[in-house]
Amino acid sequence: MSIEKITPDDALSQSKDLVHDNIDKLKELFPEIVTEGKIDFKVLQQVLGEELEEEEEYYRFTWAGKSQARREAHKPSTGTLRPAKEESLDWDTTQNMYIEGDNLEVLKLMQKSYAGKIKIIYIDPPYNTGKDFVYKDNYKDNLKNYQEVTGQIDSDGNKISTNSDSDGRYHSNWLNMMYPRLRLARNLLKEDGVIFISIDDGELNNLKKICDEIFGESNFRNTIITRRRVKSLNVQFAEDGLKTFNVGFEYILVYSKSEDFLFNDLRKTKEIKPTKGSWNVFWSGADRPTMRYEILGFTPKTGQWRWSKAKAIEAEKNYKFYEDNFSKTMSIEEYWKNTEGKLKFLRRIENGTGKNGGVQYYVGPNETTLRTSNWTDIEVSQIRKDFDLPFENPKNVDLIKTILKTDRNKDNIVLDFFSGSATTGDAVLRLNSEDGGNRKFILVQLPEQIDNQFKTLTEIGRQRLLLSSKKIKKEHPEKSKEMDLGFKVFKLDSSNIKSWDGNPDNLNESLFDAVGNIKTDRTEEDVLYEILLKYGLDLTLPIEEKTIEGKKVFNIGLGSLFICLADGITSKVAEGIGQWKEDCSPEICRVIFKDNGFTDVEKTNSVQTLKRYGINEIRSI
């Protein structure tokens, strides 16, 4: 057995190939369509039969560039994410991540490690106003485009710009920017996951159409409206007549990945707090015969009762107990409050008639009510800033916290890939400090250049997270000791491996380079995290580091993966790895070395040594 080298064509040297993945799923569903390893499209058409749309005119939503945008969502990335420990907080322990880079490439790189793991996505993408910042994608080479945009290499002019309506593809440009990103985002959601997207009325209808296509019309949950601070821009023109009213609200589109998602029952305080309860009709019009039973001497002929029979009988007993023992000394409201508002009551009006026969259930006085999709009590932007940082009109932290509260689970991953000034990360930290949650965040932001004491928007975002952590530690000194208030910073870059980065010059160079396949300006940890990404492992997995025979060895995920990228490796290093593996006892163990890290003899001896410890998957880069 020899060490197998990971080549540029190997799946482990690339981000997830979504096209190949979907083809495999298609082959699994319809094995008869496979002929000599290829898909026979004619057979597929026969299998689908009447489900195929063959008419020239049918309902669809399209625009200039849609086909290319769809293809782009499935194209693998040759990039990587490089760790930036010096810009992070609590690197060794935190599970939060702040990623600097073009979100299209970052979402591609996340496909292996985070597919099906994100519970909530919130994004506030650039609104298509003709003035706002728009991502200019170069589908031929997005990574090169990103480096040009951020000033890492010389540019011939493919710069960040506004999407002027004088451009003939004003709406198409915006849709082409959004479509592949939403496609990739859907893959990251858990089956019971949900996405919230802030938008104004400029692209609301178009956004809903592409979301219907990507997430499915049946998974549309709500259009939430939130209050926008009204500026008196129209006052000066009022006497002459106004073309439009000032816009007083914005929207949040909500889509789930599947029907498995259920909202938490959010409540808001009533403006007028009631002091008395009410008796409501116990019958409803939904036709469920199994919910028509006799209670208080009456059985409905149509519709249904609101509760199960067991619950209704218990409520009947509760009310009779009150009538017999307390009705002469206290009101039903007083009795209900004395029982902590937990008891249910059921009664029947004497000689009651109608579909419900006069059967009623009691609703106690409640100071709160269930939220609807009307969130106009919450302002979209937060005018009063908590931190002295140079960003304008950030999204309201209370708005994001309310969105996070829609999930009953307080221990999930929240993703925001248009993170701006890091409001979502700030909101996650604050809500955890308030309700004891353990939510984790992943933020992605392009390092947009700005003109103040901070060079980029990502510098402001990191600073905000630092200040938020300090604020929480000050306000909750004891509770904060148990909290994760840190964040790992990663930065998008080309691959650390010359033969993996898609650049022909680097590929040719690596063939004749005696030094090795790893770029000279990259560290062992750079390569380590690229391997985690390409292997589909979580970037926040525990990593131990040990020196074995003078060589640095990384242990990832409690022995599931060992990496040694040193020079001069001997079989004694392999022996040390084998012993370390025995201490961890993982179910599966893999080892990766640098290809030119040892001689042919030591390579052979190392393989035999690792085999003695039951390690059979040994690769090199």
Average pLDDT of the residues of the chain: 87
Residues 350 and 256 occupy one common structural domain: no
Provide the domain limits for residue 201. 79-267+372-491
Confidence check: pLDDT of 370 > 70: yes
C-alpha dihedral (510, 512, 515, 516), degrees to nearest 10:
30
Highest mean pLDDT among 14-18, 400-404, 452-456: 400-404
Q: From 1, 88, 17, select the one nearest 529 (Cα to Cα).
A: 88
> End of a domain among 491, 526, 549?
491
Give a yes or no: residue 423 inside a domain: yes
Residues 170 and 88 occupy one common structural domain: yes
pLDDT at 223: 97
Contact 11, 110 (CB under 8 A): no
55 confidence band (pLDDT: 50, 70, 90):
low
Give a yes or no: residue 71 inside a domain: no
pLDDT at 510: 43
Confidence check: pLDDT of 373 > 70: yes
388 confidence band (pLDDT: 50, 70, 90):
confident
Residues 197 and 323 occupy one common structural domain: no
**Considering the chain, what percentage of its residues have pLDDT values greater than 90?**
58
Cα gap 396→385, rounded to integer Å: 9
Residues 324 and 471 occupy one common structural domain: no
Residues 95 and 135 occupy one common structural domain: yes
Contact 483, 433 (CB under 8 A): yes
Cα gap 443→421, rounded to integer Å: 10
pLDDT at 113: 95
Give a yes or no: residue 2 inside a domain: no
Confidence check: pLDDT of 310 > 90: yes
Cα gap 109→105, rounded to integer Å: 6
Confidence check: pLDDT of 120 > 50: yes
| Residues forming beta bridges with residue 188, ordered by sequence position | none
pLDDT at 87: 97
Give a yes or no: residue 92 inside a domain: yes
Question: Residue 25, Cβ neighbours under 10 Å: how many?
Answer: 10
| Maximum alpha-carbon separation in the chain | 98
Confidence check: pLDDT of 529 > 60: yes
Q: How are beta strands 359-363 and 543-548 bridged, if at all?
A: unpaired
pLDDT at 272: 81
Domain count of the chain?
4
Tell me the average pLDDT across 564-580: 95
Tell me the average pLDDT across 43-68: 76
Indicate the helix (H) or strand (E) that contains 383. Answer: none
**pLDDT one-digit tens code per residue, 167-205:** 557 788 899 999 999 999 999 999 999 999 999 988 999
Highest mean pLDDT among 43-47, 55-59, 111-115, 594-598: 111-115
133 confidence band (pLDDT: 50, 70, 90):
low
Which amino acid, 288? R
pLDDT at 511: 43
Residues 114 and 247 occupy one common structural domain: yes
> End of a domain among 324, 340, 366?
366
Confidence check: pLDDT of 17 > 90: no
Cα gap 165→342, rounded to integer Å: 58
Confidence check: pLDDT of 248 > 80: yes
Give a yes or no: residue 152 inside a domain: yes
pLDDT at 350: 85
SS3 422: coil
Higher-pLDDT residue of 444, 63: 444
Higher-pLDDT residue of 11, 249: 249
Structure tokens at 511: 């063939």
pLDDT at 3: 82
445 confidence band (pLDDT: 50, 70, 90):
very high
**pLDDT one-digit tens code per residue, 331-363:** 999 999 888 888 999 999 988 888 889 999 999
Give a yes or no: residue 20 inside a domain: no
Residue recorded with tokens 């073309």:
243
C-alpha dihedral (10, 15, 16, 17), degrees to nearest 10:
-70
Give a yes or no: residue 536 inside a domain: yes
pLDDT at 14: 75
Angle at 226 (CA atoms; ends 223, 231), nearest 5 degrees: 135
Of the listed ranges 20-34, 115-129, 212-226, 232-246, the least confidently predicted one is 232-246
Indicate the helix (H) or strand (E) that contains 255. Answer: strand 249-256
pLDDT at 155: 46
Give a yes or no: residue 21 inside a domain: no
pLDDT at 473: 95
User: What is the C-alpha radius of gyration for the chain, rounded to an integer number of angstroms?
Assistant: 30
Helices (H), 140-276: 142-149, 170-188, 204-215
CATH (domain of 104) = 3.40.50.150
Highest mean pLDDT among 28-37, 144-153, 300-309: 300-309
Q: From 196, 220, 190, 200, select the one nearest 130 (Cα to Cα).
A: 200
Higher-pLDDT residue of 160, 102: 102
Confidence check: pLDDT of 535 > 70: yes
Residues 130 and 218 occupy one common structural domain: yes
Confidence check: pLDDT of 16 > 90: no
pLDDT at 514: 46
Cα 81 to Cα 70, 148, 334, 444, distances in angstroms: 24, 17, 62, 12
Residues 487 and 528 occupy one common structural domain: no
Contact 457, 392 (CB under 8 A): no
539 confidence band (pLDDT: 50, 70, 90):
very high
Residues 245 and 379 occupy one common structural domain: yes
Of the listed ranges 66-75, 311-320, 398-407, 513-522, the least confidently predicted one is 513-522
Cα gap 479→72, rounded to integer Å: 45
Residues 390 and 357 occupy one common structural domain: no
pLDDT at 40: 76
pLDDT at 52: 66
Tell me the average pLDDT across 597-620: 92
Residues 389 and 456 occupy one common structural domain: yes
Q: How are beta strands 617-620 and 161-162 bridged, if at all?
A: unpaired
What residues contact residue 160 under an 8 Å CB cut-off, 6+ apart?
133, 134, 135, 136, 149, 448
Confidence check: pLDDT of 36 > 80: no
Residues 251 and 392 occupy one common structural domain: yes
Confidence check: pLDDT of 256 > 90: yes
Of the listed ranges 243-247, 337-341, 582-586, the least confidently predicted one is 243-247
Confidence check: pLDDT of 161 > 60: no
Confidence check: pLDDT of 507 > 80: no
DSSP for 311-354, written as a single string: HHHHHHHHHHHHHHHTTTTS-HHHHHHHTTT----EEE-TT--T
SS3 228: coil
